Amino acid sequence: MDRRAILRLAVGIPFLGVGGIVRPGQAEHLVKPVAAAARPPAALRTPRLVMIDPGHGGKDPGAIGHAGTYEKDVTLDLAKELALQLRKTQGLNAGLTREDDHFLELGERVDVAREAKADLFLSIHADSAPNANARGLSAYTLSEKASDAFSQALADKENYADRLGLDLKHTKPVVADILMDLATRRTKAASLVARQGIVRGAGRDLRLLENPMRSANFVVLKAPDIPSVLVETGFLSNRQDEALLRDPAQRKRIAGILARELATLLASPTFA
């Protein structure tokens, strides 16, 4: 685990090393790297990378609107436009989990983001809602229920470390525990900050769904070390949303608003 990774883990979690977590005699192993972990210089962290995930693709069309709009096409176009605007107008790095119409498993999408060491994972969707009147943008983080199951699944330390990408072979068990706990805590907190920033910011210009900040058990949001948000840009089951989402000019506008809000978010000190 390199210094940069330690810094990234520790930033935004100032309470590490507070009594009660650290037992006597173990503090020196823990406190040193963390006490030294001031916020890294901006040059170390920029340009930050957003991994954009266009939902569905290939054999999986996603939702299909009344006018025959495929969700997989809307999400791909929105994601490409968003990546373009992040790079060109916001000076950020942007990647795509898929750049064409092919099928990707959910785990593969997460893997792409983790391999790229993305600062944020953003999955783009435009699904069907049970109620045809439901319309507007909403954003999801992983639900508490899923987080609990997630925590249980990660109880196996070696599997957890493996998924986290940390080299803990030479790390004392208590330090490994705390670093892993910190990583998930940071990820959850940053995901909530991201969801709030996107919804509040985009809501100034775009119609929002009722209770637009939501959580659910989306597999694609389960990266343990990358803040992750799934944005439902609207619902193809709603005729007005479908009309909006199938209009290239409107998609460009939505992408521009999301790009603006992501840039604001990534520059915010509350998003570690």
Report how far residue 77's alpha carbon sits from residue 245's, in angstroms, rounded to the nearest whole number: 10
How far apart, in whole angstroms, are the C-alpha atoms of residue 217 and residue 200? 22
Kindly state the greatest CA–CA separation across the chain.
67
Chain-centre distance for alpha carbon 49: 11
Q: How far is the CB of 136 from Zn ion (least distance, A)?
A: 15
Tokens for 141, please give them: 């983080």
Tokens encoding 158: 């070696």
Among 33, 57, 62, 212, indicate the residue that binds Zn ion (CB under 5 A). Answer: 62
Closer to Zn ion at the Cβ: 147 or 237? Answer: 237
Upper half-sphere CA count for residue 96 (Cβ side, 13 Å): 22
Report CA dihedral (67, 70, 75, 78) to the nearest 10 degrees.
-40
Cα gap 266→272, rounded to integer Å: 8
Measured from the CB atom, the residue of 55 and 212 that comes closer to Zn ion is 55
Residue 73 vs 119, nearer CB to Zn ion: 73
Closest approach, Cβ 239 to Zn ion, in A, equals: 18
Q: How far apart are CA 252 and CA 256, in angstroms?
A: 6
CB neighbour burial string for 119-134, b if at least 16 within 10 angstroms, e if fewer: bbbbbbbbbbbeeeeb
Of 54, 55, 57, 227, the residue at the interface with Zn ion (CB under 5 A) is 55
Question: Using CB under 5 A, which of the segments 62-70, 100-108, 112-120, 214-222 binds Zn ion?
Answer: 62-70
Per-residue contact track with Zn ion, 67 to 106, x per CB under 5 A? ----------------------------------------
Closer Cβ to Zn ion, 10 or 124, answer by number: 124
Options 58-66, 115-123, 138-146, 233-241: segment touching Zn ion (CB under 5 A): 58-66
Closer CB to Zn ion, 127 or 181, in the complex: 127
Residue closer to Zn ion, measured from CB, 125 or 260: 125
Task: With contacts defined by CB under 5 A, name the span among 36-44, 48-56, 86-94, 139-147 that binds Zn ion.
Answer: 48-56
> Which of 209/272 has CB closer to Zn ion?
209
Q: Is 57 in the site for Zn ion (CB under 5 A)?
A: no
SS3 41: coil
Reduced to 3 states (helix: H, G, I; strand: E, B; else coil), residue 239 is helix
The site map against Zn ion for 106-135 (x = CB under 5 A) is -------------------x-x--------
C-alpha distances (whole Å) from 226 to each of 84, 171, 210 are 21, 22, 27
Residues near Zn ion (CB under 5 A) are: 55, 62, 125, 127
